Structure formats: structure tokens, C-alpha cells
A = this chain, B = another copy of it.
Amino acid sequence: MVSKNQIKLISSLHQKKQRFINQLFFAEGVKVIQELLQSNFELDHLYTTQNDFDTVLSSKRTLINDQELKKISALTTPNTCLAVFRMPAENKINDSGLIVALDDIRDPGNLGTILRLCDWFGIKQIICSKETVDIYNPKVVQATMGSITRVNVNYVDLKTFLTQTKLPVFGTFMDGENIYQSHLPKEGIIIMGNEANGISEEIEKTVTSRLTIPRFGELQKTESLNVATATAIILSEFKRNS
């Protein structure tokens, strides 16, 4: 059974502020929880409606019913389990290889999908502007499908970071060089912009290589690609010859 205080704590973790005060976040679903358990993330407590996860100490595991799960879940259709984890300390930025920098990504699904893409393409370091959605947002954790355990994410003043880096800085714009015909190095920072506004003006100033993903539609009316699908195309292009 889940206590009133536990319900109160978990409900509070739906909010970023409370996650930071408590230094806790939660994940839902067997697959994501298993990936977190197998990684360096420290379990605070697991709540499950099944007699599963028997490798978890019984003092850290509570059997609950579907109604109780529904009370603490962030999902419209709750899974069978929810686990609270400690937020790990932020690692140092690994300023080498390919890095993805996010300039105010607001949609949790987009951020989760981008982390999953980075993991697929072997990109270890993601730099987020302070306005980018929190990676410990329950919807982000869900959308990463476990990739959150394998990538390093830092929140920084993006302008300062990009001004100080010695790596080339790539951004995509309507007037950039055709990405399919560009020389794409093995080291560099790839900036992806906000869903509505793209790369902001002050971040654009730090870009050293302007790229574009060409459109093929006859009417050339399609205004833009979703940021996660644009990231997929760009990362594929950077990695295909490596």
C-alpha cells in the first residue's frame, strides 16, 4: 500500500521545482525502470502492481493496486509500475566529438525523442539552454525509452558555452549550404532550435557553419520539419560516412 505522504511526494515530483528541491524524479513502465536499475541511477522506491522486480530489496519495493497507481501516475493509461529515483549529480561536460546543443526545446516528447536519437547515433553529450524542458520531466523520461541512462545532459548558459568553445558550430537555416553536399566533420556542435522560433538570434551569431536540409516537394510549401525529425536527418548525415 502507498501512504498518503508517498502519494503527496510523488505528485509533487510532477513539478520541476519540487523535483529539484527533493532531488528525486520518477519513471514508469517495466522497460524504462529496468534500464534505470541497471545503470548508475539510485533507486529511492519502487511501486508495482505485479510481483515483479524481485532483484529489488523488499524494503524498497511496495505492492500497490491499480487505483493506487492511477493516483501517482503521470500517464493517462498507467503502466504496471512506477519508480522514484535520485537525481544524479551533473557530470562534467565532455567537450569533444559530436555534441548536440538544444536552444529552448519546450516539448517533452521532442526532447525525449532527441535523446533517443543521440543514443542511437552514439552521441554522448547534449547541451541544453536553461529554457529547455527538464530531462527529469516524466514525459521526457518516458519518451527516452531508457536512453536517458546512456547520454550526458548538461544545462548551461548556451550563449556563453558556444562563444567559448573551440569546436565548429553547426546550425540549419533556410539559406544554409546543402547538408548533402557539405563536408561534415567528426567533431563539432550541432544546434537544434526551438519548435516555434528555430535558432534564436543571439545563438545564431555563434554559428560557424550554416547548413540546410533541402526540400524536395514540388510546391515547396512545407514550411518546416518537426525538430525531432530534423535532428534525425542531420545526425544520420553526420554519421553515415563515419
Task: Please list the residues of chain A having a beta carbon within 8 angstroms of any beta carbon in chain B.
Answer: 109, 113, 116-117, 119-122, 145-147, 150, 180, 213, 215-219, 221-226, 228-233, 236-237, 239-242
CB distance from A175 to the nearest CB of B (A): 17
B120 near A225: Cβ-Cβ < 8 Å: yes
Within the complex, what minimum Cβ distance (angstroms) separates A236 from chain B?
Answer: 4
Q: Which residue of B lies closest to A143 (CB)?
A: B226
Q: Which 3 A-B pairs have the closest CB atoms?
A: A122-B216, A229-B232, A232-B232
User: Nearest Cβ in chain B — how far from A213, in angstroms?
Assistant: 8
Q: How far is the CA of A120 from the CA of B116 in the complex (A)?
A: 23
Establish whether residues A239 and B216, one from each chain, have CB atoms under 8 Å apart when the complex forms: yes
- Chain B nearest CB from A211 CB (Å) reads 13
Given contacts A121-B217, A216-B239, contact A232 B225 (CB under 8 A): yes
Considering the chains assembled together, what is the distance between the CA atoms of A119 and B109 in angstroms? 22
**Which residues does chain B contribute within 8 Å of A236, judged by CB atoms?**
213, 232-233, 236-237
Q: How far is the CA of A95 from the CA of B222 in the complex (A)?
A: 23
- A104 nearest CB across to chain B (Å): 18
Cβ of A228: which chain B residues have Cβ within 8 Å of it?
A: 113, 226, 228-229
A180 to B219, CA, bound (A): 28
Given A117-B229, A216-B120, A216-B121, A180–B223 Cβ distance below 8 Å? no
**A144, closest chain B residue (CB):** B222
- A228-B229, A229-B228, A233-B236 known; A119-B222 Cβ under 8 A: yes
Chain B residues near A120 (CB, 8 Å)?
A: 215-217, 222, 225
Cross-chain contact B117 with A223 (CB below 8 angstroms) = no
A239 to B216, CA, bound (A): 8
Which B residues are CB-close (under 8 A) to A233? 232-233, 236
